[in-house]
């Protein structure tokens, strides 16, 4: 069977540094941090009192108020970013065979805010007062569910749940669905809204979060020797992936082509990566093989780069394993230094920025990079964006449980 070509024709973003594609991309290139004191709840009794929150978003500008009452924040973010992606693509759903358009949007945690809220109701008011909407608001698959209902998209509809790899798995899965001819287009990405009391408590007590309460803006410092943990973030990123001939026939603009997809498991530890990034290296190599590319063909890597000691060291080792001598020449950045770590949504917004890097010939920086780490000695595009012709770009996402996934985009031939 002849494999279909797949391209990116539309994108949308809701992030801690911008609530649409233009704002997000401009903030990335400016090196702007989205970190600040937590406002979603009273964090005075928490060890960590800051996060990368979505700011100044007015959901009522996008979704009717009556409908909003039935939605958790993670669904709202997914819907708003998806609406932007469809509008950006110029796709007119009423003119399409809706059975051939899918929605694959991942979430690592789903509606934890409504779970915490309704658990409190249960404890204080009793079982009879728990909302009948709790389950439909909470479960992760309701993000793609609501998006599909919004547009009437009746094609493949799933929700990968692979922790911090969820968004990239969603993009890769959508790529393969279209490549095999099982859909002509698919909304794909990730969404998360886990800046909540219970979630922050869990992450801080496992010592995964940065403790720099006195300087939130400089807390996320991937690959820097002084890194001490990630900064939790929230938001969503969605791409419209489309079969190339279909996109061409309707005169769509094309940001880039989806070229390769890799995914592996560490089978090592619940939270720690495999030594020397062995699983991540296999994922990267698998994506290169799937794309028919050599490591030297890649100009830019958007690293998982969480700002935790183990992740950054092991991901650097994995890049060296796969890229060999070329590892020193490839530009690498972790945009989590600005957005924080959006968990299941990270791969979604990072897929968006990869497509923009290829289309615009610019790569965002790793900010807060001040003290080099001898074990992290590659080119991390420190502190300032860089103009760079990007013919092929790679993005890594590595999740708790040993989930590794890599996606490769390239300039369309």
CB 156 within 8 A of CB 182: yes
Q: What is the torsion angle, in degrees rounded to the nearest 10, for the CA atoms of residue 363, residue 219, residue 271 and residue 343?
A: -60
**Is 169 annotated as catalytic?**
no
Exposure on the CB side of residue 205, measured as CA atoms within 13 A: 8
CB burial of 292-326 (b: ≥16 within 10 Å; e: otherwise) equals ebebebbbbbbbbbbbbeebbbbbbbbbbbbbeee
What's the full length of the chain, in residues? 413
Structure tokens given for 318 = 């994995």
Which stretches of 195-305 are DSSP H helices?
Answer: 197-205, 244-249, 278-291
List the beta bridge partners of residue 224: 372
Q: Fill in the DSSP letter of residue 366.
A: B
* 3-state SS assignment for residue 354: helix
Neighbour order of strands in the sheet with 403-410: 157-158, 101-106, 185-192, 235-243, 6-14, 256-265, 403-410, 392-399, 300-302, 331-333
The whole-angstrom separation of Cα 12 and Cα 153 is 17
The answer to whether 268 is a known catalytic residue is no
Q: How far is CA 57 from the centre of its chain?
A: 19
- Residue 170 in tokens: 């969603």
- 270: phi > 0 → left, psi -120 to 50 → alpha, else beta; which? alpha
Helices (H) and strands (E) in the chain, counts: 13, 14
User: Out of 164, 186, 256, 376, which one is annotated catalytic?
Assistant: 164
- 397: closest CA among 406, 408, 387? 406
Report the distance separating Cα 188 and Cα 105, nearest Å: 5
Give the burial class of 45: count Cβ atoms within 10 A of its Cβ; 0-12 exposed, 13-18 middle, 19 or more buried: exposed
- Per annotation, catalytic residue among 146, 169, 304, 403: 304
Q: Are 301 and 332 in contact (CB under 8 A)?
A: yes
Is 62 part of the annotated catalytic residue set?
no
* Residue of 169, 246, 341, 403 marked active site: 341
What residues are annotated to the active site? 164, 304, 341
């Amino acid at each position: 069977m002849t494999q279909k070509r797949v391209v990116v024709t539309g994108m949308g973003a809701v992030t801690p540094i911008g609530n649409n594609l233009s704002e997000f991309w401009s903030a990335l290139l400016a090196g702007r941090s989205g970190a600040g004191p937590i406002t979603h709840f009273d964090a005075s009794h928490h060890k960590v009192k800051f996060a990368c929150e979505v700011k100044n978003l007015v959901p009522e500008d996008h979704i009717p108020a009556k409908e909003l009452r039935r939605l958790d924040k993670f669904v709202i973010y997914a819907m708003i970013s998806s609406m932007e992606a469809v509008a950006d693509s110029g796709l007119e759903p009423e003119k399409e065979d809706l059975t051939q358009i899918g929605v694959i949007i991942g979430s690592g945690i789903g509606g934890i805010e409504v779970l915490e809220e309704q658990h409190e109701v249960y404890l204080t008011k009793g079982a009879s007062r728990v909302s009948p909407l709790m389950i439909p608001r909470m479960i992760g698959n309701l993000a793609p569910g609501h998006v599909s209902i919004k547009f009437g998209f009746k094609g493949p509809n799933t929700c990968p749940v692979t922790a911090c790899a969820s968004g990239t798995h969603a993009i890769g899965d959508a790529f393969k669905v279209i490549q095999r001819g099982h859909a002509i287009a698919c909304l794909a990405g990730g969404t998360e809204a886990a800046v909540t009391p219970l979630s922050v408590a869990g992450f801080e007590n496992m010592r995964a979060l940065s403790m720099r309460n006195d300087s939130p803006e400089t807390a996320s410092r991937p690959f820097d020797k002084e890194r001490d943990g990630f900064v939790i973030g929230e938001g969503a990123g969605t791409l419209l992936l489309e079969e190339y001939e279909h996109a061409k026939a309707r005169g769509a603009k094309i940001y880039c082509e989806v070229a390769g997809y890799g995914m592996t498991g560490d089978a090592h530890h619940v939270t720690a990566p495999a030594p020397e990034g062995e699983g991540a290296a296999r994922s990267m190599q698998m994506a290169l093989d799937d794309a028919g590319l050599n490591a030297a063909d890649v100009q830019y890597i958007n690293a998982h780069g969480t700002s935790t000691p183990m992740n950054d060291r092991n991901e650097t080792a994995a890049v060296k394993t796969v890229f060999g001598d070329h590892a020193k020449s490839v530009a690498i950045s972790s945009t989590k230094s600005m957005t924080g770590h959006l968990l299941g949504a990270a791969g979604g917004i990072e897929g968006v920025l990869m497509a923009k890097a290829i289309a615009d010939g610019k790569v965002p920086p790793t900010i807060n990079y001040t003290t080099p780490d001898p074990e992290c000695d590659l080119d991390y595009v420190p502190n300032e964006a860089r103009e760079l012709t990007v013919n092929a770009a790679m993005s890594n996402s590595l999740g708790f449980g040993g989930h590794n996934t890599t996606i490769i985009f390239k300039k369309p031939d």
